[in-house]
Amino acid sequence: MNFDTIKTLIVLAVVVPAALVIVWALASSSWRKSGVDQPWSSLSKLFHWTIAGSVMVATLIMYYMINLGDTTVPEIRAEYSRLLKTHKSVGLIVLFLVAFRFAWNRWRARPPVADSLTKLQRRVSATMHRVLYGFMLVVPLLGWTASMTYGGKTSFFGLFELPVWLPKNIEWANVLQPAHVWLAWGMVVFVGVHFAAALWHHLVRRDATLERMLPRWRGSNDT
**Count H helices, E strands: the chain?**
5, 0
Burial group, residue 166, by CB count within 10 angstroms (0-12, 13-18, 19+): middle
Please say if the pLDDT value at position 211 is more than 80: no
8-state DSSP, 210? T
Cα–Cα–Cα angle for 184, 164, 191, rounded to 5 degrees: 15
Q: Which amino acid is present at 116?
A: S
In this predicted model, what pLDDT tens digit does every residue of 75-134 receive, in sequence order? 889 999 999 999 999 999 999 998 888 777 777 666 666 666 677 877 887 888 889 889
Query: The pTM is what?
Result: 0.73
What local confidence, expressed as pLDDT, does residue 47 receive? 81
* Average per-residue pLDDT for the chain: 77
Q: Which of 40-49, 100-109, 124-133, 158-167 has the highest mean pLDDT?
A: 158-167
Query: What average pLDDT does this structure show over 161-185?
Result: 92
Q: What's the Cα-to-Cα distance from 195 to each of 20, 135, 146, rounded to whole Å?
A: 9, 16, 29
> Rounded distance, CA 134 to CA 150, Å?
24
> Rounded distance, CA 125 to CA 169, Å?
39
Neighbours of 30 (CB within 10 A): 13
Query: What average pLDDT does this structure show over 24-45?
Result: 53
What local confidence, expressed as pLDDT, does residue 158 receive? 87
- Of the chain, the percentage scoring pLDDT greater than 70 comes to 71
Query: What average pLDDT does this structure show over 145-158?
Result: 92
> Rounded distance, CA 48 to CA 40, Å?
10
> Rounded distance, CA 210 to CA 168, Å?
45
On whether the CB atoms of residues 145 and 176 are closer than 8 A, the answer is yes
Please say if the pLDDT value at position 147 is more than 80: yes
> Rounded distance, CA 30 to CA 1, Å?
42
What local confidence, expressed as pLDDT, does residue 223 receive? 37
Please say if the pLDDT value at position 221 is more than 50: no
Name the β-bridge partners of 161. Answer: 155
Q: Which amino acid is present at 103?
A: A
In this predicted model, what pLDDT tens digit does every residue of 65-78 receive, in sequence order? 888 888 888 888 99
What local confidence, expressed as pLDDT, does residue 39 receive? 63
